[in-house]
């Protein structure tokens, strides 16, 4: 009983529900391991008693919570303050406000921002805590809009160096905004990767979520490129020629996108550019960037510089370098000043090109522009975990518990943030992360948005079945999100596919966070509540977060599938799409290529005949629905017409945003990511291609009759 109480006090669930009506108790040794990761010893009955007493003497008697959160009409719960306590606020802007006697409602009338609250009792006890005053909601998207969803690396132009880059992004935004009337471009995470070779191509296992990866730079768009002369110019021309060959191999030779080969060329070119002196104006802008980014950028660049010497896994570095604040790290930082400056410069250049891409989008008339993607976690050996070790739970990994889709559970290999450390820091790591991502964004997509409320922690060395849910302060996490989104004027989209605990979708909607609705999954599974299982959500796949798996059309084999939701039954607060980066493309689903691919790789959940039958049943059901609603006047059997029809269906929903998976626009048959595979399938390495598998350049996409015909359907649908 004592250990269970200790777990509850620290937000650890002692049971979970793998399926409706079933409850599984969390193993005692799991509870002990998770508490240990939170700095609490619960290994023996004596240790439990000691920890409970320490809690009562510490957090239990604290005058103030670690962080106080207030928003309009929702004052914080400041209970237990002794009579005569006075409150004082130091505002973010440098002012002070003496509130006198505790009046939580007065805190809601303070300016929005991150302040400091001080409480002083008549007996002389004092306490200070960060005070977050946040708006009720994140900004809403400006009107209804449609746009493209794209994995940037897959979007190659005739100017790319072997993979899509920020120049291609700016060009896509400028063209689609002007020519097609699109309102946004949603991207994959552009976070900095753990360097290889080989580099993990997945954008969902980054080294750092705080800074973008310079591999996305368009080299020729860097102003100093024009100033290269002599041998540096000759070498730059040689690198550009090799990049042309690399690009041709992908576009014309059937080669996969090779991030490491691209980075090898770009890195050498960037070394040449780094040697070119900045103009006075450019130098001043760079210095401003350094001052603005501060310690976070210095730590990131220091990690990059040390990784060049000792490899990318800081856990294997010499002892003195594993601590970013150690004397040994300080000495090496001094010796590596040039390399640190190089990596700082790359962060600045990437930030500039991201800003240019967002300007191009807005100049083209896009109401939203770029929609950046926030991955759910970071690599355990990367820059973020090195720089913020106190914020991460050592020896833990996030994942998913066993459920009706996966009896083994999932381990994503990503260390979780400690909720207690976030609260103690006033959520500074989270705030800084959001601020960086929102610098050049009209909206932000949050992968596995349910993680703002709870995450499944798996102790190192144990199977994911032996994990536990750990709760985060959802009110605080959403308030920080609302504050930073309002400051940036950006909307927020939550990827809420998968197992969602009751009430979470309602809480997100109440704060203005849009959900994610995928056409194939929008069915009535009974109960009438979005949080009810199974609802055919896209269960997170075994190879990581963000990976979706389609449900069975006939779950019980009886031939009676859950009813397709009518367009008017969809929620308005969502980004509506037909498919995503890790689901079959629409053309693949229509032609059966998705089942054939999974059969070839041995990934089918049952006998091939049954899986093909289910796919055929679901497709026929959808085609019948489209015909019945008059959305397929061309008749069945026409693939392009069917692609148009499912998007016509989306336009009839009240969704605020309608997303078109860019490969769908040209009939690509291949998913960008096939959950459950590693070497068996080229995940995250495919260029956008047509039905025959031939890669399409950005220039060809812009001229594609098939793409223009589809996008006319969406443009006409908004008139």
Q: Encode pLDDT of 461-509 as tens digits.
A: 999 999 999 999 999 999 999 999 999 999 999 999 987 899 999 999 9
Question: For 267-291, how does the pLDDT look when each residue is reduced to its tens digit (9 = 90+)?
Answer: 999 999 999 999 999 999 999 999 9
Question: For 62-110, how does the pLDDT look when each residue is reduced to its tens digit (9 = 90+)?
Answer: 999 999 999 998 999 888 889 899 999 999 999 999 988 888 889 999 9
CB within 8 Å of 568: residues ≥ 6 apart: 652, 653, 654
Question: Omega into 408 within 30° of 0, i.e. cis?
Answer: no
Question: For 366-382, how does the pLDDT look when each residue is reduced to its tens digit (9 = 90+)?
Answer: 999 999 999 999 999 99
CA atoms of 661 and 151, how far apart (whole Å): 9
Question: What is the pLDDT, as a whole number, of residue 562?
Answer: 87
Q: In what order do the strands lie in the sheet with 410-414?
A: 410-414, 396-400, 454-459, 468-471
Q: What one-character-per-residue DSSP string does 413-428 give? A: EEPPBPHHHHHHTTTH
CA atoms of 202 and 448, how far apart (whole Å): 16
CA atoms of 411 and 125, how far apart (whole Å): 45
Question: For 257-270, how does the pLDDT look when each residue is reduced to its tens digit (9 = 90+)?
Answer: 999 999 999 999 99
Question: What is the pLDDT, as a whole number, of residue 128?
Answer: 96
Tell me how far apart the 2 most distant CA atoms of the chain are, in Å: 81
Mean pLDDT in the chain? 93
Nearest to 515 by CA among 530, 484, 493: 493
CA atoms of 215 and 260, how far apart (whole Å): 9
Question: For 186-234, how does the pLDDT look when each residue is reduced to its tens digit (9 = 90+)?
Answer: 999 999 999 998 999 999 999 999 999 999 999 999 999 999 999 999 9
- In which element (H, E) is residue 708 found? helix 705-717
Q: How confident is the model at residue 122 (pLDDT cuts 50, 70, 90)?
A: very high
Nearest to 113 by CA among 462, 587, 483: 483
Q: What percent of the chain has pLDDT over 90?
A: 86
CA atoms of 399 and 31, how far apart (whole Å): 16
Strands (E), 409-527: 410-414, 443-446, 454-459, 468-471, 491-494, 515-518, 523-524
**Per-residue pLDDT for 557 more than 70?**
no
Mean of pLDDT values over 650-666: 98
Question: What is the pLDDT, as a whole number, of residue 719?
Answer: 60
Question: What is the pLDDT, as a whole number, of residue 558?
Answer: 40
Contact 182, 145 (CB under 8 A): yes
**Strand pairing category for 491-494 and 443-446:** parallel
Q: In what order do the strands lie in the sheet with 515-518?
A: 491-494, 443-446, 369-374, 184-187, 145-150, 657-661, 574-577, 515-518
Question: What is the pLDDT, as a whole number, of residue 535?
Answer: 31
Nearest to 274 by CA among 241, 213, 232, 215: 232
**Per-residue pLDDT for 550 more than 90?**
no
Nearest to 184 by CA among 485, 446, 491, 439: 491
Contact 25, 6 (CB under 8 A): no
CA atoms of 145 and 714, how far apart (whole Å): 9
Question: What is the pLDDT, as a whole number, of residue 528?
Answer: 45
CA atoms of 644 and 667, how far apart (whole Å): 11
Contact 396, 34 (CB under 8 A): yes
* pTM of the model as a whole: 0.94
Nearest to 595 by CA among 580, 617, 576: 617
CB within 8 Å of 141: residues ≥ 6 apart: 367, 368, 443, 491, 514, 656, 657
> No. of H helices and E strands in the chain?
21, 23
Question: For 596-641, how does the pLDDT look when each residue is reduced to its tens digit (9 = 90+)?
Answer: 999 999 999 899 999 999 999 999 999 999 999 999 999 998 999 9
For residue 74, CA distances in Å to 136, 358, 475, 481 come to 9, 35, 11, 16
Q: What percent of the chain has pLDDT over 70?
A: 95
Question: What is the pLDDT, as a whole number, of residue 547?
Answer: 57
Question: What is the pLDDT, as a whole number, of residue 552?
Answer: 40
Q: How confident is the model at residue 541 (pLDDT cuts 50, 70, 90)?
A: very low
Contact 604, 611 (CB under 8 A): yes
Burial 520-553 (b: 16+ CB within 10 A, else e): bbbbebeeeebbebbbbbbbbbbbbbbbbbbbbb
**Residues written for the chain:** 719
């Amino acid at each position: 009983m004592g250990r269970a109480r200790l777990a509850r006090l620290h937000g650890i669930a002692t049971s979970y529900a793998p399926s409706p009506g079933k409850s599984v108790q969390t193993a005692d040794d799991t509870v002990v391991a998770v508490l240990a990761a939170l700095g609490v010893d619960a290994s023996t009955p004596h240790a439990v008693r000691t920890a409970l007493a320490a809690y009562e003497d510490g957090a239990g008697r604290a005058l103030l919570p670690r962080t106080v959160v207030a928003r309009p009409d929702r004052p914080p719960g400041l209970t237990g303050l002794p009579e005569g306590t006075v409150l004082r606020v130091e505002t973010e802007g440098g002012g002070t406000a003496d509130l006198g006697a505790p009046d939580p409602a007065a805190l809601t009338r303070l300016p929005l921002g991150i302040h400091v609250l001080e409480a002083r009792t008549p007996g002389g006890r004092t306490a200070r805590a960060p005070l977050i005053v946040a708006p009720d909601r994140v900004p809403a998207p400006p009107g209804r809009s449609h746009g493209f969803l794209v994995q940037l690396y897959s979007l190659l132009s005739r100017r790319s160096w072997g993979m899509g880059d920020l120049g291609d992004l700016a060009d896509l935004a400028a063209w689609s905004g002007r020519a097609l009337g699109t309102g946004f471009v949603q991207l994959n995470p552009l976070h900095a990767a753990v360097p290889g070779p080989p580099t993990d191509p997945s954008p969902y296992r980054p080294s750092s979520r705080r800074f973008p990866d310079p591999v996305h730079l368009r080299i020729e768009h860097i102003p100093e490129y024009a100033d290269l002369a002599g041998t540096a110019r000759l070498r730059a021309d040689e690198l550009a020629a090799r990049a042309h060959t690399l690009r041709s191999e992908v576009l014309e030779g059937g080669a996969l996108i090779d991030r490491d080969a691209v980075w090898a060329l770009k890195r050498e070119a960037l070394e040449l550019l780094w040697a070119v002196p900045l103009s006075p104006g450019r130098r001043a802008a760079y210095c401003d960037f350094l001052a603005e980014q501060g310690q976070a950028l210095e730590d990131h660049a220091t990690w990059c510089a040390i990784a060049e010497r000792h490899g990318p896994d800081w856990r294997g570095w010499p002892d003195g370098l594993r601590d970013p604040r150690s004397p040994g790290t300080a000495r090496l930082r001094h010796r590596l000043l040039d390399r640190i400056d190089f990596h700082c410069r790359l962060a600045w250049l990437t930030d500039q090109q991201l800003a240019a891409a967002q300007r191009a989008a807005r100049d083209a008339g896009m109401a939203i522009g770029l929609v950046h993607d926030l991955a759910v976690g970071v690599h355990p050996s990367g820059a973020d975990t090195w720089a913020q070790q106190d914020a991460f739970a050592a020896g833990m990994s996030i994942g998913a518990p066993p459920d009706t889709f996966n009896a083994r559970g999932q381990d994503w290999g990503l260390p979780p943030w400690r909720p207690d450390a976030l609260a103690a820091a006033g959520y500074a790591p989270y705030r800084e992360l959001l601020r960086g991502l929102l610098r050049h964004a009209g909206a932000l997509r949050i992968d596995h948005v349910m993680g703002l409320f709870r995450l499944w922690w798996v102790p190192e060395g144990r199977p994911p079945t032996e994990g536990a849910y750990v709760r985060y302060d959802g009110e605080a996490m959403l308030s920080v999100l609302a504050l930073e989104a309002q400051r940036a004027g950006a909307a927020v989209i939550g990827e809420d596919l998968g197992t969602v605990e009751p009430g979470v979708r309602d809480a997100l909607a109440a704060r203005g966070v849009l959900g994610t609705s995928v056409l194939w999954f929008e069915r009535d599974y009974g109960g009438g509540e979005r949080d009810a299982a199974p609802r055919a959500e896209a269960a997170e796949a075994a190879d990581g977060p963000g990976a979706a798996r389609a449900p069975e059309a006939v779950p019980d084999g009886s031939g009676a599938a859950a009813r397709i939701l009518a367009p008017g039954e969809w929620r308005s607060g969502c980004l509506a799409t037909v498919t995503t980066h890790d689901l079959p493309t629409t053309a693949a689903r229509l032609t059966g290529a998705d089942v054939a691919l999974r059969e070839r790789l041995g990934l089918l959940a049952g006998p091939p005949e049954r899986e093909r039958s289910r796919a055929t049943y679901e497709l026929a059901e959808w085609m019948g629905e489209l015909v019945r609603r008059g959305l397929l006047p061309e008749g069945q059997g026409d693939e392009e017409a069917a692609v148009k029809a499912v998007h016509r269906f989306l336009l009839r929903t009240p969704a605020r945003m309608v997303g078109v998976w860019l490969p769908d626009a040209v009939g690509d048959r291949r998913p960008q990511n096939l959950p459950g595979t590693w070497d068996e399938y080229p995940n995250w390495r495919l260029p956008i291609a047509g039905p025959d598998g031939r890669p399409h350049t950005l220039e060809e996409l812009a001229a594609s009759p098939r793409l223009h015909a589809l996008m006319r359907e969406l443009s006409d649908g908004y008139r």
